[in-house]
Amino acid sequence: MTRSSRQLDSRARHLLRTLIAQYVRDGQPVGSRTLAESSGLDVSPATIRNIMSDLDEMGLVQAPHTSAGRVPTVQGYRVFVDSLLQVKPLGEGEIARMRANLPAGAGTQALLGNVSDMLSAMSRFVGVVTVPRRAQFAFRHIDFVPVDGNRVLAILVFTDNEVQNRLFETRRPYGRDELEQAANYLNAHFAGRTLAEIRAQLLRELRETRSAMERTLSAAVELSEHALSGDDEDMLVAGQTRLMGLQDLSDLDRLRELFEAFSSKREILQLLERTQKAQGVRVFIGEEAGLPSLGGCTVVTAPYAAEGQVLGVLGVIGPTRMAYERVIPIVQATADVLGAAIQPGRAAGA
């Protein structure tokens, strides 16, 4: 519980909760008379004005210049989320529909694309999900195909049903027979293992071996380094255009800065990765995110995991004036459903 919330008595807490709920619903500053009518408290408008004045002094609400009513501040939203919000889990019907959108047997990339779209559709804001590093997954089968000169095409089938083609350049040309030998060796000895395990084992065998196998091992070391450590897309984003029609984000300069952040992804990705070891849902309101581009936004995140191993983070980005009691359970349920959809045995170490 925050220091500000500890200073609030029951009436002040009730009025702050009522003000935020009404502001989130209507998007208009809330006046004392409106609060008196909607709060259900048996107190005079004068008493409510006094309490509002106290909340203002504490930095939990503020009065826009053009209105006598008040709106919540970032600190007010923080108190609301931490100690006043009543969150209910999603119903079984909604969770069943989420599961239906993440079919068993689909590759990880397809699942993540569905998740970002689903988060955006359910929240009406932006859905984001970080992509697990490919090194977190074991490979099932690999083939090498010579292209030209020093270029080789690797065809990879991973244990999460993902198929990838990777074109890379080697230090020297490899013949078709050499590539076939290296692929056969990797498939026979390392299928179901991760890049880190493969690299360590190959280097250990290479140090210990002084035989005809050394040439095959050397080829396998170089080829696996290239094929199994390529860069992957790091984050999927869906629904950016949903922010364009929102009253709270109508400033064109702010929208431009926000869209540039979505385009570059780097800063938002760093924010999401900070929450990867967190337990459950995290909520960053306004400047709490530490990114100027997200100054008028809230980011709600949760890590997703398979078989106890955290693979990434997903979340929703929207205006600070969002229905937190709705968005928070959506993010948590989506993380749970995605973790279950990434079937046992797919993740590294499974």
Enumerate domains of the chain plus CATH numbers: 10-84 (1.10.10.10), 92-133+233-341 (3.30.450.40), 135-227 (3.30.390)
Structure tokens at 330: 């959506």
Beta strands in the chain (DSSP E): 61-62, 71-72, 126-130, 139-148, 151-158, 163-169, 235-238, 282-285, 297-306, 309-319
| Region 69-77 average pLDDT | 94
The CA-atom distances, in angstroms, between 269 and each of 112, 117, 238, 315 are: 15, 17, 14, 11
Would the pLDDT of 346 be above 50? no
Return the axis-axis angle of helices 266-274 and 252-264, rounded to nearest 10°. 70
Task: For the full predicted model, state whether its pTM sits above 0.95.
Answer: no
* pLDDT for residue 220: 73
- The whole-number average pLDDT for the span 319-333 is 95
Most confident range (mean pLDDT) of 65-69, 167-171, 178-182, 331-335 is 331-335
The listed range with the strongest mean pLDDT (111-115, 201-205, 346-350) is 111-115
Taking residues 173-193, report their average pLDDT: 87
Give the contacts of 171 (CB within 8 A, at least 6 positions apart). Answer: 150, 222
Q: What is the pLDDT of residue 208?
A: 67
Q: Which residue has the higher pLDDT, 200 or 301?
A: 301
User: Can you tell me the mean pLDDT for 12-18?
Assistant: 93
3-state secondary structure of 168: strand
Q: State CA 243 to chain mean position distance.
A: 18
d(CA 260, CA 29): 30
